[in-house]
Amino acid sequence: MSYILETKNINKFFGKEKPFHVLKDIYMGVQKGEFTSIMGKSGSGKSTLLKAIFSLVDIMGGEINYLDSDLTKITTDQMIKKGLSFVPQTDNVFPTLTVEENLELGAYVSKKKLKDRFELIYNLFPPLVEKRKKKAGT
C-alpha cells in the first residue's frame, strides 16, 4: 500500500530523571485523498506526534516519510516547500490581521494558486466567507 505520509515506530520521551514515554512505536499511514484524524484524551500525545512530524520535537528513532522523502532529514522550510503545513492548537492566528490575511500568510509558498486555495477553503468552511474581512482576533 502506498502512503503519502507515513510514520513508523515513532518514540518520544519527556523528562530526564524519570522519563515519560509519550509516543510508543507510533505507526500512521495516510493515503492520497484521505482525511485523517488523530484522536485521544488530553495528554495522550496527539500534538507531540504532529510536532514530531514537523521536527519541532526530537524523537528517539523511527521513520517519518512524505512522498517517499525522509522528513527527519530535511528542515521545516523544505517541508513547507513540499506542501506540508502545521497549525498549532493555540495562538495560531495573528489577531490584528483579517481572517483572509492570516490565510494568505499560510499560503505564502504557493501564491500563484491563491485564488483556487481560497475557493477550496471557503467551500470547506463557509462561515469564513462572511468573516474574511474581519480581524481574526474577533
3-40: pLDDT as tens digits: 999 999 999 999 889 989 999 999 999 999 888 889 99
- φ, ψ of residue 50 to 5 degrees: the values are -65, -40
Spans of all domains in the chain:
5-81, 99-131
Is this structure's pTM higher than 0.85?
no
Which parts of the chain fold into alpha helices (H)? 46-53, 76-81, 99-106, 114-124, 127-131
| CB-count burial class (<10 Å; 0-12, 13-18, 19+) for 39 | exposed
Write the class of the CATH domain 5-81: alpha beta
Q: Could you report the per-residue pLDDT of 78-90, keeping only the tens digit for each? A: 887 787 877 666 6
User: pLDDT tens digits for 36-77?
Assistant: 889 999 888 998 999 899 888 889 989 999 988 899 888 877
